[in-house]
């Protein structure tokens, strides 16, 4: 099974509102992983804590800039989930990349999405290589 198979089929469009939904949901998902990391390493516990502390602000910023250019936007239900932190963040990174590729008319948001990817990939480094 490919990692992108973990994204529910109903996520057919890689849209900015869907991205905001996934990022907001990731705060809760990763926070739960952080709290349940007792069977894992301290480095994982810390990396997940740093991620959920930062990602909500990115979601908020992306939403505000998008809504400021368009109108108030409905946020759809999140569709990405995996119980393994590395798998989950890799799936989320792929989704951010899909949205980034489809966001041409909102090029000012691409920097924000790059910052999200940097946060995800930095967290993945810590999860994979720091024990």
pLDDT at 10 over 50: no
pLDDT at 38 over 70: no
Tens digit of pLDDT for each residue in 56-95? 999 999 999 999 999 778 999 999 999 999 999 999 999 9
Tens digit of pLDDT for each residue in 86-130? 999 999 999 999 999 999 888 889 999 999 999 999 999 999 998
39-65 in b/e form (b: 16+ CB < 10 A) is ebeeebbebbbbbbeebeebbebbbeb
Model pLDDT, residue 131 = 77
In a domain, 2, yes or no: no
In a domain, 32, yes or no: yes
Model pLDDT, residue 42 = 86
In a domain, 5, yes or no: no
Residue 34, Cβ density class (10 Å: 0-12 exposed, 13-18 middle, ≥19 buried): buried
- Please give the structure tokens belonging to residue 15: 């849209």
State how many domains the chain has.
Answer: 1
In a domain, 62, yes or no: yes
In a domain, 24, yes or no: yes
Model pLDDT, residue 6 = 55
Q: What's the chain look like in SS3?
A: CCHHHHECCCCCCCCHHHHHHHHHHHHHHHHHHHHCHHHCCHHHHHHHHHHHHHHHHHHHHHHHHHHHHCCCCCCCCCCECCCCHHHHHHHHHHHHHHHHHCCHHHHHHHHHHHHHHHHHHHHHHHHHHCC
Q: How confident is the model at residue 24 (pLDDT cuts 50, 70, 90)?
A: very high
In a domain, 10, yes or no: no
Mean pLDDT of 14-29: 96
Model pLDDT, residue 9 = 44
Mean pLDDT of 39-68: 92
Q: Which domain holds residue 32?
A: 15-129
In a domain, 109, yes or no: yes
In a domain, 125, yes or no: yes
């Amino acid at each position: 099974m490919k990692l992108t198979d973990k994204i529910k089929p109903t996520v057919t469009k890689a849209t900015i509102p869907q991205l905001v939904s996934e990022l907001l949901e990731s705060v809760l998902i990763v926070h739960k992983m952080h709290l349940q990391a007792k069977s894992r390493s301290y480095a994982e516990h810390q990396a997940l804590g740093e991620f959920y502390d930062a990602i909500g602000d990115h979601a908020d910023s992306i939403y505000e800039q998008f809504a400021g250019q368009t109108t108030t936007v409905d946020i759809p239900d999140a569709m990405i989930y995996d119980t393994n932190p590395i798998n989950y963040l890799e799936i989320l990174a792929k989704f951010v990349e899909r949205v980034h590729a489809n966001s041409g008319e909102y090029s000012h948001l691409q920097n924000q999405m790059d910052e999200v990817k940097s946060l995800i990939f930095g967290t993945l480094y810590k999860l994979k290589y720091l024990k």
